[in-house]
Chains A and B, each alone.
Chain A
Amino acid sequence: MRYIFRPPGTDGAGLLSLPWHLPLEEWDRSLLLDVPQRGISRHVVRFVAEQGQVFALKEIAEPLARHEYALLGEFEEEGLPAVAALGICVDRPGGQDAVLVTRYLEYSMSYRYLFSRPHGDHSADRLLDTMVVLLVRLHLAGVFWGDCSLSNTLFRLDAGTLAAYLVDAETVERHPRLSPGQRRYDVDLARERVGAELLDLQFGELLPPDCDPVEIADSLAPRYEALWDEVTREEVISQDEQRFRVADRLRRLNDLGFDVGEVDLVTTPEGGVRLRVETRVAEPGQNRRELFRLTGLEVQENQARRLLNDIRAYRAYLEQTTGGTVSEAVAGHRWVAEVYQPIVDAIPPDLAGRLAPAEVFHEMLEHRWFLSERAGRDVGMEEAAQSYFATVLPRTPEEVTTPSVIATRH
Chain B
Amino acid sequence: MATILAVDDSASMRQMVSFTLKAANHDVVDAEDGLQALELAQMQSFDLVLTDVNMPVMDGLELTKKLRELESYRFTPILVLTTESGTDKKEQGRVAGATGWLVKPFNPEKLLATIKKVLD
Decide if A and B are genuine partners: no
Binding site for A on B (CB under 8 A): none
